[in-house]
Chain A
Amino acid sequence: MLGFLVRRIIALAFVLLFAVTLTFCLLRLFPGSPFNLNEKQNSAANIAKEEYLHNLDGPIWWQWARYIGLGPKHERLDSNANVLEPAGYRGLLQGRFDEDSLKLKDRKVNELIADSMPTSVTIGLLALMFSTVAGVWLGSMAAVKRHTWIDTGSMLGALAAISIPTFVAGPLLALVFSLWLNWLPIGGVGGLSNLILPSLTLAGPFIAYIARLTRASLLEVLSQDFVRTARAKGVAERGVLYRHVLKIGILPVVSFLGPLTAGVLTGSLVVEKIFNLPGMGEMLVNSVLNQDEFLCCGTVAVYCALLVVMNLLVDVAYQWLDPRIRIS
């Protein structure tokens, strides 16, 4: 088990490195300098100075090496050219995440991410919770009451919900629940109630997906011999469902948690835009448009890390839940 964990973590670190490298190189390959975006054209000397300050001078592989922490960065200067920090290795490998944002002056990447991450993570977690709980509940209802109106209704609803993308459902939900019915706030900054509508929007298609998955898996498990045995020895129907069937039937849902997290992460970009939430999604999009090199890489790294950690957790949970799988 320990060996499995160590191997997985090493592999995941490489995946993370790959993603950050790709983002870094792609954004650096964009024609033109990030310091030349403003209406007033920067002089070549100024651009060179800024690039030197932010360690974006020299060939691209060397810039990358310094960002990652395989090469020494220049000394850090303040506006009066006083040395704040001598030249040295200050990259991701050294655990340093505090490059300056190129666009938002005086802000550091780690501060910006720390400010915006709670919102995004809250919506994401709420959406994960909604989608698994509601999805499994709906799916098992449909499986147990097969061929009744509950089954047909929830499965038709599920197909419709899958086909309605988040950015269609979001504005419509906002229109109905916030503007016409006035039940929930439309989003923006505020308490937890502001995050309910966004996370419901985000969870919608996944509730449907998980309901379908659960229903199919439960139907298969319900037809197996051990269920008949359990019923024959007099276990109550409720006990059969919770203690025997759901324990096996939930496994496909657990393995779907990885793709689910990926979907929730990408979906949160849209949801944050719809409901004007100050999350990481808006920051990511703006950082790409502004060629804000370090902020973009930092955000992508955080998104990847969230996904990668979730995948690891899913693997561990899967092994723990399913006695048939034993990883040596």
Chain B
Amino acid sequence: MNEGASTPAAQPPGAFQRLMRNRTAVASLFVLAFIALVAIAGPFLPNYHPEEVTNYSKHSPSWLPQTEAQLKSDLENGGPVSTWRFPFGTDLNGRDVFSRVVQGAGISLLVGLCGALVSFFVGTTYGLISGYVGGQVDNLMMRLVEGLHSIPRLIIVIVAIFTFAQWMQNWLNAGSLYSLFGQDPRVLFAVVALAFWAVWCLGAKSTKRRRGIVLFALSLFAGWLVAGTLVTQTIVRCYATFFIAAAFLWIFLHAARIGGGVATCTGVLTAALLGLAVSDDVSAALQCTSLQPFIGYNKIIILILCLGLIEWLSMARIVRGQVLALKEQQFVLAARSLGQSHATIIIRHLLPNLVGVVIVYLTLTIPAVILDESFLSFLGLGINDPQASWGSLLADGKNVINPIKSYWWLLAFPAAAMSLTLLALNFLGDALRDALDPRAQR
């Protein structure tokens, strides 16, 4: 009897085990975790003053042996400097470079992560639609991607960021959420929801459409009632509405089960927004909501959006390729013949199969976005001065290179932080790709 045939072969290691076996990947993970920790916890350190200007201009790292001239000028500038006051030295304005590198880490990682997420949403949606619909639509959508590939996107995005950042600045300066859209935002949302519902109804089958219209009308009424009651706070009406709302909730749940979910949800949303819109109290409250706290972040938000919107092309291509291969497979055919809708097939069957490839490209998009952001900041078009990102710190460091005296700490520490992060992210992306590669399972 053959022993080997009866005992099952050892389970092939999963993707995670294969990743953990890769020593560089584990090291990269630790490095990234450390940098993320510093970026998050750094602002709570006692000597975190990224924007505080001191008299100690261009002070070398304070733990290094100091020259006579430096010690002398320290005394003139306001007393000797303790060993760990400026671990990375200070810049032209006497700001602590360590704090600025920590702040830069926060901003760079935030932009990288959120920008990659934006590119993930756009790229995945685009690739899914293109691959799933196929035919002429696919052809046209891929032509667009090709066209975008053949222009220097980063150069055009410079103009876009310049313009949109100023727009956003103006909106934020105007003061409230109300002025953001030039009118009541809830009316706008309600109109969008209404349009969405109309499009859905036109696309649905006739029985579903009829059901949808009835459900929408009912939910419109209910939502209006609930919203109106909540705002006016009349107790009697509150109780009355509670029961009505409970009754409608039952209808909604039932409707969602039989397939009118979209109509119901949009109906409730629309009605609630419209109901809220009629109340003056809420309008007044919204008008008073100040947007001043966001003013420092407008550049960051615009950077995230714009960079995310230029880095999605390869994601879209990869996802499209995968979808093209997946949709021909038997399980999709089976789902179709069981009568599942396109939305269900995409969400239940296609997306789970895309997770691996999408994660790999997400990991590789983060360093690309970080790089783009520092590129723009280096050119003076990204993060503006009191705030710091790695790119703007490097630009500062570059400006003080001269033959007489080199202020190397202005260049070396931001450069090290940035290169280390990018190296770790690239290593991790490569290792993930190897780990998730189906050919590696053999």
Contacts and interface: CB of A to CB of B under 8 A. Distances in A.
Contacts, number: 127
Contacts of B408: 175
Interface in A166-189: 167-168, 170-172, 174-175, 179
Contact of A19 (B151, B374, B406): B151
Interface string A133-167: 00000000000000000000000000110111101
Q: Which 6 pairs between the two chains have the least Cβ-Cβ distance? A: A163-B423, A168-B415, A163-B422, A171-B398, A26-B159, A30-B163
Contacts of B374: 165, 167
A73 to B, nearest CB: 23
A18 B163 contact: no
For B147, B152, B380, B418, the residue with the greatest tally of chain A CB atoms inside 10 Å of its CB is B152
B32 interface: no
Contact of B150 (A29, A179, A308): A308
A163 B158 contact: no
A14 B156 CA distance: 16
B426 to A, nearest CB: 5
A58 interface: no
Contacts of A265: 152, 155
Interface of A: 11-12, 14-15, 18-19, 22-23, 26-27, 29-32, 159-160, 162-165, 167-168, 170-172, 174-175, 179, 258, 262, 265-266, 269-270, 273-274, 284-285, 288-289, 296, 300, 303-304, 307-308, 311
Nearest to A262: B152
Given A162-B426, A167-B398, A273-B378, A18 B391 contact: no
A308 B163 CA distance: 25
Given A300-B155, A307-B152, 12 more contacts: A15-B151, A22-B159, A26-B159, A30-B163, A159-B427, A163-B422, A165-B375, A179-B406, A273-B398, A289-B380, A303-B155, A308-B151
B151 A18 contact: yes
A133 B156 CA distance: 30
B397 interface: yes
A26 B406 contact: no
Given A167-B391, A168-B415, A270-B379, A29 B163 contact: yes
A23 B159 contact: yes
Nearest to A275: B398
For A29, A163, A284, A289, the residue with the greatest tally of chain B CB atoms inside 10 Å of its CB is A163
Contact of B155 (A160, A269, A274): A269
* Chain B interface, DSSP helix/strand/loop, else mixed: helix
A262 B381 CA distance: 20
B418 A165 contact: yes
For B162, B381, B408, the residue with the greatest tally of chain A CB atoms inside 10 Å of its CB is B162
Contact of B166 (A31, A170, A258, A300): A31
Interface in B143-178: 147, 149-152, 154-156, 158-160, 162-163, 166-167, 170
A174 B398 CA distance: 10
